[in-house]
């Protein structure tokens, strides 16, 4: 499964590189413009990388949730230890 995704990504990059080389050689021709249009149309209808993008978005949301949860826990923990420190200092003074 991963091998297919890597292969699809390498094919896509190879196609972009080939298209770029072709454009460099034949920039002004109508044929090059048509090939660009056909390539972009095929690229828009290509769904080979959608699973990887979806997994990446899900992973990003999970990481953001973990970050927010840890941030909230850290804030509460800091408040707790500040309270303990104040009570310990007060007890040490004899009050």
User: How do the pLDDT tens digits run along the chain, 95 residues long?
Assistant: 545 555 665 665 566 556 555 555 555 566 767 777 788 788 777 777 777 788 889 999 999 999 988 888 888 899 999 999 999 999 988 76
Q: Classify the C-alpha dihedral 72-78-84-87 as positive or negative.
A: negative
Distance from CA of residue 36 to its chain's centroid?
27
């Amino acid at each position: 499964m991963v091998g297919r995704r890597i292969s699809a990504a390498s094919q896509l990059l190879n196609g972009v590189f080939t298209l770029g080389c072709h454009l460099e050689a034949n920039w002004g021709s109508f044929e090059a413009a048509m090939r660009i249009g056909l390539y972009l149309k095929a690229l828009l209808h290509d769904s080979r990388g959608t699973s990887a993008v979806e997994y990446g978005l899900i992973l990003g949301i999970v990481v953001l949730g973990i970050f927010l949860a840890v941030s909230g826990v850290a804030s509460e923990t800091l408040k707790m230890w500040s309270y303990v420190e104040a009570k310990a200092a007060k007890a040490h003074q004899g009050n």
